[in-house]
């Protein structure tokens, strides 16, 4: 009978817990670096959060950003920024919010159009006020915090409190690392990236729950096995599922990144980074932290049949 292709041994024997301190040091460096970048450089907030006017224009030929900056610089509209967007003939223009009402914003757009000339094609024009942008940023932070809290409560009720704490730390690790990479690379941070972060949190906790579930199952099955060996066994038993799920997801995201166009590039980059970091944190952050919180067989309630030392060997 055809049983499918096996990419990994049924139960690998990789000693993950032997390197647990190295994993935690790597994660500590990643988190500290992310927090320092966020504190010093901050995030490059998009128009969703910052407010202003956004124009996506297509030039008749290759865009000359230098001459465009010169033409727009004399309009007295503030710090106008230009960025090549996807192809050499497409430019993203950001204009700060103008003092005054909506008519002032319309006059700014008209001034930009007049300065660039009639041959330019305008593919998108968006207006976001600073008050709306601040409200969107606040609501985005509330949404992420509420999602993390709800996930923590779920883990807390499904498992013991140590598992809930480890799951929450793992999620915070992924969120901070994702925000940090956007700060380091100065990529635009907008509502789409917030959606990506919430998706990453759901993906990461799904991986973590699978591993936690196997740890708890083995704690009840192997009552006298040392915890480092038991956790190694649990991680190895779920390793093929973790790697294959992450790899197939990455194939889809890489297709989006390279073929989905500039509009989806930020979202797909955040997801690619998040899948890598989330998979890492599920195995190398959440599970080793169980040892630091001194999870023992006695942590679990209920009785189960003890196994002999010979039976406990993976």
Query: Lowest mean pLDDT: which of 54-63, 155-164, 189-198?
Result: 155-164
Fold identical between 16-44+133-299+306-312 and 52-128?
Answer: no
More confident of the two residues 274 and 105: 274
Nearest to 58 by CA among 109, 105, 92, 82: 92
Query: What is the average pLDDT score of the chain?
Result: 84
CATH superfamily name and code, 16-44+133-299+306-312: Multidrug efflux transporter AcrB transmembrane domain (1.20.1640.10)
For the residues 281-307, what does the mean pLDDT come to? 73
CA distance readout (Å), 297 to 1, 47, 110, 309: 40, 52, 71, 15
Looking at the DSSP assignment, which residues form a beta bridge with residue 125?
Answer: 55
Looking at the DSSP assignment, which residues form a beta bridge with residue 92?
Answer: 56, 83
Question: What is the spatial distance between Cα 214 and Cα 231, in angstroms, rounded to a whole number?
Answer: 9
Out of 25-39, 160-174, 204-218, 220-234, the most confident range is 25-39
Nearest to 91 by CA among 110, 72, 111: 72
Residue whose structure tokens are 């914003």:
105
Triad 124, 46, 149: Cα angle to 5°: 125
For the residues 281-289, what does the mean pLDDT come to? 91
Question: What is the spatial distance between Cα 303 and Cα 114, in angstroms, rounded to a whole number?
Answer: 79
Q: How far is CA 115 from the centre of its chain?
A: 39
For the residues 25-30, what does the mean pLDDT come to? 95
Task: Read off the pLDDT band of 270 (50, 70, 90).
Answer: very high
pLDDT 10s digits, 171-223: 899 999 999 999 999 998 888 898 899 889 888 888 888 999 999 899 888 88
For the residues 137-163, what does the mean pLDDT come to? 82
Q: How far is CA 159 from the centre of its chain?
A: 25
Out of 37-51, 132-146, 297-311, the most confident range is 37-51
CATH number at 52-128:
3.30.70.3400
What's the token pair of residue 110?
């008209």
pLDDT of residue 184: 95
Residue 75 φ then ψ, to 5°: -90, -5
Task: Read off the pLDDT band of 143 (50, 70, 90).
Answer: confident
Query: Lowest mean pLDDT: which of 10-14, 42-46, 279-283, 288-292?
Result: 10-14
Whether 303 shows a pLDDT value over 70: the answer reads no
pLDDT of residue 42: 92
Residue whose structure tokens are 């967007």:
85
β-pairing verdict for 121-128 and 81-85:
unpaired
Residue 9 φ then ψ, to 5°: -60, 155
pLDDT of residue 2: 44
Give the global pTM. 0.78
All residues at 6 or more sequence positions from 5 whose CB lies less than 8 Å from its CB, including other chains: none
Whether 148 contacts 201, CB under 8 Å: yes
Structural domain boundaries of the chain?
16-44+133-299+306-312, 52-128
């Amino acid at each position: 009978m055809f049983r499918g292709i096996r990419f990994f041994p049924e139960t690998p024997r990789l000693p993950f817990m032997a390197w647990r301190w190295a994993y935690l040091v790597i994660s500590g460096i990643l988190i500290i670096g992310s927090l320092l970048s966020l504190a010093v450089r901050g995030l490059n907030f998009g128009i969703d959060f910052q407010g202003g006017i956004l124009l996506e224009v297509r030039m008749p030929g290759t865009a000359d950003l230098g001459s465009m900056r010169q033409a727009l610089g004399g309009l007295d509209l503030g710090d106008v920024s230009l960025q090549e967007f996807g192809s050499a003939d497409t430019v993203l223009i950001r204009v700060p919010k103008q003092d005054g009402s909506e008519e002032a914003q319309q006059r700014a757009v008209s001034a930009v159009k007049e300065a660039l000339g009639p041959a330019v094609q305008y593919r998108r024009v968006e207006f976001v006020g600073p008050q709306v942008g601040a409200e969107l940023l606040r609501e985005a932070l509330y949404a992420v915090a509420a999602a993390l809290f709800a996930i923590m409560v779920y883990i807390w009720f499904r498992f013991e409190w140590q598992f809930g704490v480890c799951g929450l730390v793992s999620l915070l690790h992924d969120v901070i690392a994702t925000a940090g990479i956007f700060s380091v690379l100065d990529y635009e941070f907008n509502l789409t990236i917030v959606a990506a972060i919430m998706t990453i949190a759901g993906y990461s906790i799904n991986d973590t729950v699978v591993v936690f579930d196997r740890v708890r199952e083995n704690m009840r099955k192997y009552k006298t096995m040392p915890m480092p060996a038991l956790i190694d066994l649990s991680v190895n038993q779920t390793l093929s599922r973790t790697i294959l799920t992450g790899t197939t997801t990455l194939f889809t995201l890489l297709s989006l990144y390279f073929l989905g166009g500039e509009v989806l590039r930020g979202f797909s980059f955040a997801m690619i980074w998040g899948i890598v970091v989330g998979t890492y944190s599920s195995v190398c952050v959440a599970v080793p932290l169980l040892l630091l919180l001194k999870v023992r067989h006695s942590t679990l309630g209920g009785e189960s049949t003890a196994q002999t030392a010979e039976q406990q060997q993976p």
